[in-house]
Amino acid sequence: MLKFPKSAALAVLGLTALATPSLADGDAGAGEKVFKKCAACHAVGDGAKHKVGPELNDVFGRTAGSAEGYKYSNAMSEAGQGGLVWDAETLSTYLAKPKDMIKGTKMAFAGLKKDDDIANVLAYLKTFSQETAAAPAAVEAGETPVETADAGAAVEAAPAAEMVVEKSQGAFGLGRKAMPDEIAAWDIDVRPDGTGLPEGRGTVAEGEPIFVENCAVCHGDFGEGAGRWPVLAGGQDTLRNDRPEKTIGSYWPYLSTVFDYVRRAMPFGNARSLSDDDVYALTAYLMYLNDIVDDEEFELSKENFTSVRLPNEANFIPDDRLSEPHYAKGIEPCMSDCKPGPVKITARAQVIDVTPEGEGDENSGGGID
């Protein structure tokens, strides 16, 4: 549906482009997509609660570090006490390079590189701020024609296939036959032998910017992991150590698992958003971070995928728990005089003091992975 001719829409764009950069440039619809990068840590909208970061309803006009119930960094609290209030200008500066503006902020996000992304995400956030609720509507109205012009063409090019319902031939005759397109939409799993790999390719060099933009916020620029997020690289030869580091390079048995998992579940909070080529490129980049390839021009593709072997593949063994001495069958457990003398306490939980109600929230050893 095209509300005005395309030339009129372009004229609107031309006018706004002349204006100084401001929220008026932002497209809330496009900003919603940009916000996916934020959504792993921030919630916005009805019922939004604090997550890793504070909820962002009514962030426009909010004093920095003031959202109730959220534990800010000292730096952010101090910025608010110093008079910092979030508006289009301050948020734009912050989102470009958070750590430059607030040294010591908890926000691990490196920043949005593109001015358009910043303008768009702010337009989107503004739709959740009451202060100027009327403004976003105007923004949307101005931008809508351009978007629909593109979308309209795409819809015409791909008419929905007709659904043919074939009954099940089984004993109960329940359910219906799955159609090839339906199976293709959901069956994206990849096995170590390469079964399920899609057509596609990507190089280490292509993977780097994709990683920096989508993955580094949690996994670190070099796969070293931020906070308790998974470490992806390094850790070679640590599996016998007191504190092993289990990464793709040091622990994972198969590269297919990397491809499969990234394609089905990453980036966290925006699954299924990467193209197959992106996933090949990311997988190649992760190989590079783990020193499995050292050539930045190395290209991973469906064709060469199964020739790659991860170093730890041979170290996985079947479940042999029942062969452990304590499970040896036929041993009746001891009932009396089982220990020579009085029993002594050798370890105490209160010494470690990491139980939640004890106010102790410092990190401790062990984990559930």
Partner 1 sequence: MVDITDPKRTKQAASRRDFLKAGLLGGAAVAASAGVARAAGDPLITEIQDWNRYLGEGVDVAPYGKPSEFEANVVRRNVPWLTADPVSSINFTPLHELDGIITPNGLCFERHHGGTAVINPADHRLMINGLVDTPLVFTMEDLKRFPRENRVYFLECAANGGMEWRGSQLNGCQFTHGMIHCVVYTGVPLRYLLEEAGVKTNGKWLLAEGADAAAMTRSIPMEKALDDCLVAFKMNGEALRPEQGYPLRLCVPGWEGNMWVKWLRRLEVGDEPWAQREETSKYTDLLANGKARRHTWVMDVKSVITSPSPQAPVTHGKGPLVITGLAWSGNGTIKRVDVTLDGGRTWQTARLDGPSLPKALHRFYLDINWDGSELLLQSRAIDDQGLVQPTKNELRAARGENSIYHNNGIQTWHVNNDGVVENVEVS
Residues between 169 and 208 with contacts to partner 1, criterion CB under 8 A:
169-172, 174-178, 182-183, 186-187, 189-193, 195
Determine, following the binding rule CB under 8 A, whether residue 343 of this chain makes contact with partner 1.
yes
**Burial class of 29 by CB neighbour count within 10 A (0 to 12, 13 to 18, 19+):** middle
Neighbours of 290 (CB within 10 A): 23
Closest to partner 1 by CB, 142 or 269 = 269
Size of the site for partner 1 (CB under 8 A): 94
| Nearest CB to partner 1, comparing residues 86 and 252 | 252
Residue among 200, 246, 306, 308 that touches partner 1 (CB under 8 A): 246
The answer to whether 237 touches 250, Cβ cutoff 8 Å, is yes
130/363 with CB nearer partner 1: 363
Residues between 82 and 121 with contacts to partner 1, criterion CB under 8 A: none
Binding mask 290-319 for partner 1 (x = CB under 8 A): -------------------------xxxxx
Question: Smallest distance from the beta carbon of 49 to partner 1, in angstroms?
Answer: 10
* Region from 14-22, 148-156, 222-230, 301-309 binding partner 1, contact rule CB under 8 A: 222-230
**CA distance linking residue 192 with residue 259, whole number of Å:** 10
Q: Please identify which residue in 1, 154, 321, 359 interacts with partner 1, judged by CB under 8 A.
A: 321
Q: Give min distance, CB of 344 to partner 1, in A.
A: 4
**Which of these segments, 81-89, 131-139, 147-155, 254-262, binds partner 1 (CB under 8 A)?**
254-262
Least distance from partner 1 to the Cβ atom of residue 113, Å:
24
Cβ 194 to partner 1 shortest distance, Å: 12
* One-letter amino acid for residue 82 of the chain: G
CA distances from 89 to 21, 44, 122 (A): 10, 20, 10
First-residue to last-residue Cα distance in the chain: 49
Least distance from C-beta 23 to partner 1, angstroms? 29
Q: Is the dihedral of CA 206, 110, 274, 143 positive or negative?
A: negative
Exposed, middle or buried by CB within 10 Å (0-12, 13-18, 19+), for 118?
buried
- Rounded to a whole number of angstroms, the minimum distance from the CB of residue 6 to partner 1 is 36
Q: Which of residues 224-243 bind partner 1 (CB under 8 A)?
A: 227-230, 239-240, 242
Toward partner 1, which CB reaches closer, 130 or 315?
315
Give me the least distance between CB of 287 and partner 1, in Å please.
15
Token pair for residue 109? 């996000």
Name every residue whose Cβ is closer than 8 Å to that of residue 86 and which is 6 or more positions away in sequence. Answer: 59, 60, 61, 62, 63, 64, 94
Within its chain, how far is the Cα of 108 from the centroid?
13
Residue 19 is a binding residue for partner 1 (CB under 8 A): no
Kindly identify the residues of this chain, within the stretch 34-63, that bind partner 1 according to CB under 8 A.
40-41, 51-52
CA distance 1 to 3: 6
How far, in Å, are 320, 328, 329 from residue 324 at the CA level?
A: 7, 7, 10
Give the interface segment with partner 1, choosing from 8-16, 199-207, 294-302, 360-368 (CB under 8 A): 360-368
Could you give the angle at which helices 276-289 and 255-265 cross, rounded to 10 degrees?
A: 130
Contact call for residues 152 and 49 (beta carbons, < 8 A): no
Q: Which of residues 117-156 bind partner 1 (CB under 8 A)?
A: none
